[in-house]
Amino acid sequence: MTVLVAYNESPQGEAAFAAAADEARRRSTSLTVLVLTPQPETSPVPAHLAGLVETAGAGVIVDIAFRSDKIDVADAILDHAERTDAEIIVIGSRKRSAVGKFLLGSTTQRVLLDAAVPVLVIKAAD
């Protein structure tokens, strides 16, 4: 079992990472980071993420995976949660207008509705 965090380089992504690391420590389990921004296959772990991994704390094993640019973000999160046997999904969210939610849909909403495990949605501090 693992805690899965959907991560991108943003205040919401950093807040989600911090909450997921706390969950992993509390649950005494590993932390899987799914980087949502597609990366070249030969690319090392982005520096901003490497710095966050160091803050995860002693005893938290961190595994990093990268989303393929050929798959929808929500599908990537849900598929990875199933593949890694995640016990919880942690995602960051940003404020959107009602019209924006209606017209564009929402990755967060899809994950909340379709996930087979609990989902923790985190907003970044203002």
Q: Using one digit for the tens of pLDDT, what is the confidence trace for 7-36?
A: 998 899 999 999 999 999 999 999 999 998
What's the confidence (pLDDT) of residue 68? 79
Average pLDDT over residues 80-99: 86
Residue type, 10: S
- Look up the pTM and report it: 0.86
What's the confidence (pLDDT) of residue 100? 55
26 to each of 33, 57, 64, 117, 121, how far by Cα in Å? 17, 11, 20, 17, 17
Q: Residues 102-123: pLDDT tens digits?
A: 544 588 889 999 999 999 999 8
**Residue-averaged pLDDT of the chain:** 86
Q: Between the CA atoms of 29, 36, 67 and 81, what dihedral angle is there, to the nearest 10 degrees?
A: 40
Work out the number of other CB atoms within 10 angstroms of the CB of residue 92.
Answer: 25
What ranges do the domains of the chain cover? 2-123
- Residue listed under structure tokens 């943003």: 10
Average pLDDT over residues 95-103: 59
Structurally, at CATH architecture level, domain 2-123 sits in 3-Layer(aba) Sandwich (3.40)
In 3D, which of 55, 72, 66 has the Cα closest to residue 17?
55
Q: Residues 40-60: pLDDT tens digits?
A: 666 677 777 888 888 777 778
Task: Tell me how far apart the alpha carbons of residues 26 and 76 are, in angstroms, rounded to a whole number.
Answer: 25
Q: What angle do CA 16, 111, 13 make, to 5 degrees?
A: 20
What's the confidence (pLDDT) of residue 103? 46
Average pLDDT over residues 90-96: 83
